[in-house]
Chain A
Amino acid sequence: MAEKNIAIIGNGISGITAARFIRKFSNHSVTVISKESDHFYSRTALMYIYMGHMKYEHTKPYEDFFWDKNRINLLRGTVKEIDFANRQLHFDTSFKVDSLYPAPPSLNYDVLILATGSKPRRPEWPGMDSKGVTGLYDLMDLEYMEQHSKGIERGIVVGGGLIGIEMAEMMASRDIPVSFLVRESHFYNNVLPDEEAKMASDEIRAHGIDLRTNTEVAEILADESGHVTGVKTTKGELINGQFAGVTIGVEPNIDFLKNSGLELNKGILINRHFETNVEGVYAIGDCAEFRNPIPGRKSIEQLWYTGRIMGETLAHTICGNRHSYQPSIFFNSAKFFGIEYQVYGEIPCEISGDAETIFWKSKDNKQSIRINYDSNRGFVRGFNLLGVRFRQEICEKWIEEKTDIQKVVSNLSAAAFDQEFATRPERAFIEQFERQRGIKIKPIGSRGWKTALKSLLKT
């Protein structure tokens, strides 16, 4: 195979995974370009830097020598323009930053991978330009938040998603009172079913957060110096705060590609092989938008692991083993203050006609297990867990093989992944299942790896 110059714009999880696997599979020259940081760090850990759990250096999954050792070239700079006809990148020469790897004015490539990620979505509210208003996506945002949340009396977070709750937790960790404004009737209710959304909301309030549901912002208020002083809701309520996190979602970071000849919609349009309309140019991760998404999945997938799968799959294709995007069974996880959240398969926030649900909740309101199954044929469709850990491989296998709900329930301990000595929430779930159906099943007794392996190897 002829060796090519492969340029990757973006050193997030998608771009870096592509770079690592291209290196693993080939001797192509690989260059990763970033505006944000010299080295790959884990964006998911931004909150922990602010909270003092980690320092920036701990968020780097690979030591600095890794890149040189694996012959992955790093460049720090901003791409101003892409000359697709001549396969050349032009950098913004006015971009000056303290870096080990300053970018040259231009760079030739044979293959280009766009992995430019997201940026926080900005609503059209008056006052959005006030000082002390920001989203949270990258290191620059974190530093902005650090500076502008210092010494304040109250912080405001607008938008009840996963970044919103992180910002609320971050400020709470520094004893800053927080007002958390959420459009839905419970936190994350646009994703979580009512019961789980209520539990998460209770947990947020238990941590002293002033959670305001059914609340939308009309305007950001500022003083004469242009610094935020609070927000006004659509109901005319005034909420004071000297810092406002606006976390109403993210959108593809593609402004510099407008009018470049690359076909764009919300994101960079790609087929299932990550190919754009320009030959030799691919897009992966948060910035990419599938023209024909896989049924049941979104056209833009902004998850850590989907970025990783895209990067790895594309590396195969570029190294001569053409593969399409196959993300398998959906899963995700998060943590709502002290409560962990895991989901496997389909768990819509409202149960549709052909699905049934079984829901168990612990007395202390900290744990729940929900299993959805097909109302006609009885096979499991999804698991939703709060404060309970299940094994991904087992849940995935049950969903893939369309396993019957009763069989799943009787084998539930094979999926249990909670710590040793921890309570056995799956047993309470099984008992409730038996009561509801008026039957006795014979559940497997033990949990642990041995049981899990047995269950996985059984066909």
Chain B
Amino acid sequence: MSERSMSIANPSPFSTDAYQKGALALSALAVVYMFLLISGTELLSPVLSFWLLTGFFTISALVYTWRAYRKKPAGIKNDGIWYSSLLARGALAWMAGLIFTVFYVLLYWYPSTLGLGMGENGSNTGLIAAFDPMSYWIKGEAASEWFMYGFFYSLAILVMGVKFFVKYWHSPYQKWRTASVVFFQLAFAFTIPEILMGLNMPYNDFFNMWPLNYYFFFDWNLQQMLDSGTLGIFMLVWGIALVLVISPILTWLYGKRWYCSWVCGCAGLAETAGDPFRHLSDKSLKAWKIERWMIHSVLVFAVVMTAMVLYSFFSGSNTVLFMDSHNVRAWYGFLIGATFSGVIGVGFYPIMGNRVWCRFGCPAAAILGVQQRWFSKYRITTNGSQCISCGNCSTYCEMGIDVRWYAQRGQDIIRASCVGCGICEEVCPRGVLRLENGPATDQRAVEQRVITIDGFQPE
């Protein structure tokens, strides 16, 4: 039998039922309506448009979840994933990827097509106008494209967080982690900054850490904080302490997971809306090599860019080493901030998995990764020789870590990229893996448990 013939055709029992089909149709309808708004066709008032869009997406996801899991006993629910067009890079996946990508391109570079300031006297029309009522209610001004995006983003995390919660109902670790990441998005990434803006204070997400938050040290942001009294100074001190003091201590104690799968907004989306795509990450050795080069290059870029921006801020000179710091930061924003983290990072979920940005691009993750690799108490321990090399752990690792490589040798897993989502320990059919915080050394009673004969040096 040839190995290629193992690509088994789509078996019908994994298909969706009528309710789920209806739910998917509802989502499709909302997408169509969104593009109608974008194309300038306004069938309903902004308020009705808002409820149609958010309502359809929410109902769609909840109905789908209910039908998918209602009869499933507690346990792993990965049946049929590799037979699904949407989840296994089929036609639906490419369509979804295209829609996400188009949306991001319009959002970042052509917000006027979404209706930003396209009405009379610079008022909004179309999609963004649909969010005006909500924006006025929260902060007393018209919606921006970022308010619209932030609202959608938070809603996606909340609704898909419910789905994830139901999927992992049996796992306290998954429930706590998901509750945390949803809370930090809703409270710190969305509500508090919007309210701050309504109070004429600087927009600030207290947990959006530099250099993920690459504009933290930009002149306008620094100036805004310096001009905002005690709270502004607190924001400045907190932001610096977060990256220099708080995060190294927390990473030493718990690994980078405290941020990368419990707090960060990118994780919020990746672990909820992105969870169904986690198995698409590339596990090859080559991908790991690319990952190390790329993420550390972005970190260097971020540090150099920030240093130049700060030099300009203090010296008042825009030219640093023959380069205009404004140009450098504009390029960083375009290449890394928008293209990498947004268009590729989320737009490509259905093709490359849900952690492309976190794995290959995020400079904050790079810093935490170095800390995790070299001085953290956190690691995944392997239970003796119990591993049967099945490959579930590696397949479902969103960061593309070949967990099995270590587990089958009885080794602990200490990798810079591990975000501690804990799904490997969930899907392991033999209970071989455990996320643990222990003594911060490479201490291990027996290092390679499967080696049955010690002390033999080959001739």
Chain A: residues with CB nearer than 8 A to chain B? 1, 13, 24-26, 37-39, 42, 44-45, 48-56, 58-61, 63, 97-99, 139-140, 143, 146, 150-151, 173-176, 206-207, 304-305, 308-309, 312-313, 316, 319-321, 323, 326-328, 331, 333-335, 337-338, 340, 342, 366, 389, 391-393, 396, 417-423, 448-450, 453, 456-457
Contact = CB atoms under 8 A, between A and B. Distances in A.
B306 interface: no
Given A55-B82, A321-B456, A419-B425, A448 B14 contact: no
Task: List 10 A-B pairs, minimum CB-CB distance, nearest first.
Answer: A392-B384, A449-B438, A338-B75, A25-B458, A98-B2, A421-B172, A56-B6, A174-B13, A45-B390, A389-B431
B438 A450 contact: yes
Contacts of B84: 52
A392 B385 contact: yes
Given A49-B8, A55-B6, A335-B429, 7 more contacts: A52-B82, A53-B392, A143-B5, A309-B452, A331-B385, A393-B449, A417-B434
Nearest to B430: A333
Contact of A48 (B381, B392, B437, B443): B392
14 contacts: A25-B458, A45-B391, A54-B390, A58-B395, A61-B389, A140-B1, A305-B450, A312-B451, A316-B456, A340-B431, A393-B445, A422-B171, A453-B439, A453-B444
B176 A391 contact: no
A222 B248 CA distance: 68
B82 A97 contact: no
B2 A97 contact: yes
B323 interface: no
A448 B452 contact: no
Interface in B9-32: 11-14
Contacts of B395: 53-54, 58
Interface string B144-178: 00000000000000000000000000111100100
Interface in B404-456: 404-405, 408, 422, 425, 427, 429-431, 434-439, 443-446, 449-453, 456
A420 B453 CA distance: 33
Contact of B173 (A39, A309, A421): A421
Contacts of A58: 391, 394-395
Nearest to B7: A55
B6 A97 contact: no
B13 A422 contact: no
A259 B315 CA distance: 91
B386 interface: yes
A53 B81 contact: yes
For B75, B427, B458, which residue has the most chain A Cβ atoms within 10 angstroms?
A: B458
A383 to B, nearest CB: 13
A207 B434 CA distance: 27
A327 B408 CA distance: 17
Contacts of B430: 333-335, 340, 342
A403 to B, nearest CB: 16
B77 to A, nearest CB: 10
Nearest to A340: B431
Interface of B: 1-8, 11-14, 73-76, 78-84, 170-173, 176, 284-285, 381, 383-386, 388-392, 394-395, 404-405, 408, 422, 425, 427, 429-431, 434-439, 443-446, 449-453, 456, 458-459
The binding surface of chain B is classed by DSSP as loop
A342 B391 contact: no
Contacts of A175: 13
A51 B172 contact: no
Contacts of A48: 390-392
A98 B456 CA distance: 40
A453 B391 contact: no
B258 to A, nearest CB: 13
Contacts of A331: 384-386
B436 A449 contact: yes
Contact of B176 (A37, A321, A421): A421
A417 B432 CA distance: 9
A456 B384 CA distance: 13
Contacts of A366: 74
Nearest to A451: B438
B197 to A, nearest CB: 36
A173 B77 CA distance: 9
Nearest to A176: B13
Contacts of B14: 52, 174
Contact of A342 (B425, B431, B438): B431
B79 A53 contact: yes
Nearest to A171: B13
B173 A422 contact: yes
A396 B449 CA distance: 12
A60 to B, nearest CB: 8
Nearest to B412: A449
B444 to A, nearest CB: 8
Contact of A391 (B78, B383, B444): B383
B372 to A, nearest CB: 16
A37 B439 contact: no
A75 to B, nearest CB: 15
A319 B458 contact: yes
B388 A44 contact: yes
A38 B2 CA distance: 9
Nearest to A419: B173
A304 B388 contact: yes
For A48, A140, A456, which residue has the most chain B Cβ atoms within 10 angstroms?
A: A48
B388 A338 contact: no
B450 to A, nearest CB: 6
A450 B456 contact: no
A313 B386 contact: no
Contacts of A423: 172
B6 A389 contact: no
Contact of A450 (B76, B425, B439): B439
Contacts of A323: 453
